[in-house]
Structure 1
Amino acid sequence: MDKKWPKTVLGLAGYSGSGKTTLLSALIPLLKQRGLKVSVIKHSHHQLELDKPGKDSHQFVTAGASEVILACPHKRYHFSKQQQHDEIQEQLHWVNWQACDLVLVEGYRHSQIPKIEVHRSALNKPLLSLNDSQIIAIASTDELSSHLPKFDLNDPKAVCDFIVTYTNSEKIVK
């Protein structure tokens, strides 16, 4: 992991359909109950069009704006064109570090950040942890043989406890 980023960046990695989004959605309120402010970075391999043709933001980007920030009550959206595929380090620059204690990353499974692998044997995919030294634990509904800590995918509280302990988050709660 880049030395600029604190131990408060942690990824959930796994193949499509493994349950990353479901686990992450369950973890956020549990971590919030522990007093943590959580930011999320979601990676997609698919082209997304949030600034649809005909909308002002799309018009500004099409006209050549380097970036467009759309601000409305309680939300802010940022649109920019990228020349190449993004990297997690680039996305971490966008995080408001004063407004969060922990950044959870969904996807970026090949990044050099600590990750919890989300695995389902039914997908017939190999364990990522066999070839990724950045994976620090596994969440699965299956019985697996691994030296890493293992958690039941259906027990987000246990995964939350692990995250808080691993990141020493209790020390960073303001």
Structure 2
Amino acid sequence: MRIFGIAGWSGSGKTTLLTGLIPLIVRAGVTVSTVKHAHHAFDVDKPGKDSYRHREAGATEVMISSAARWALMHEHRGAPEPTLSDLIRNMTPVDLLLVEGFKHEGHEKLEVYRPSVGKPPLYREDSKVVAVASDAALADATVPVLPIDDLDAIARFILTHCGLAAR
């Protein structure tokens, strides 16, 4: 399973880019899964639902399943947040695992960079940034810079970089 990241500061457009890339990569015959880092406390469950009640009662894990999908919720219950490697061990193998966020982890990644966000680019400090998708010209970039709105070019770059373009 190849692992490739989409990184950048909050508000740079990572999710928008990723949701545009996934269908292009799938059309290329590549199976894809994603893992996304959330910076805030989040909940996929809703108060009043049985699964919510199970967790609130103290269950460490609650799995909910239907004919369409299943989901596993795991409560840390005071344990440290798992690393990206810990999380990946729980994923079913696919051709390409796209990682959104986790910008400080050691996997190769494409940075989504918009100067208007007001944050410094990651590519200057992170040797794992192998390309940048941006809405600006970046004269100091030492990696390929792709137009942020050219989804085809970005998808081709990722597939080629990950050795999956021949599919």
TM class, shorter-chain normalised?
A: over 0.9
> Hey, which bits of structure 1, 4+ residues long, moved more than 3 A?
none
Please list the CA deviations of residues 85-111 of structure 1 after superposition, one character each: whole Å capped at 9, or x if unmatched.
2321111011101xx210001100101
Q: Which residue matches 1:70? A: 64
Please list the CA deviations of residues 46-86 of structure 1 after superposition, one character each: whole Å capped at 9, or x if unmatched.
11122222211122122222211101122111111112223
Tell whether 2:42 aligns with 1:48.
Answer: yes
Distance in 2 of aligned mates of 1:164 and 1:58: 39
Q: Choose which of 81, 88, 94 in structure 2 pairs with 1:92.
A: 88
Please list the CA deviations of residues 16-71 of structure 1 after superposition, one character each: whole Å capped at 9, or x if unmatched.
11110111011000001100111010111011122222211122122222211101
Q: Which amino acid aligns with 1:58?
A: Y
Q: Which residue matches 1:162? A: 157
> Gaps spanning 5+ residues in structure 2: where?
none
Q: Which residue matches 1:36? A: 30
Matches within 5 A, 1:7-156: 8-82=2-76, 83-97=79-93, 100-145=94-139, 146-156=141-151
Asked if structure 1 preserves the Cα contact closer than 8 Å seen for 2:156 and 2:165, the reply is no
What is the DSSP-based 3-state SS (H/G/I as helix, E as strand, rest coil) of the residue aligned with 1:129?
coil
Distance in 1 of aligned mates of 2:142 and 2:75: 42
> Gaps spanning 5+ residues in structure 1: where?
1-5
Percent identity, please. 37
Q: Please report the RMSD computed on the Cα atoms of aligned residues, expressed in angstroms.
A: 1.2
Task: Count matched residues.
Answer: 164
Normalising by the residue count of structure 1, what TM-score does the alignment of the two structures yield? Answer: 0.90
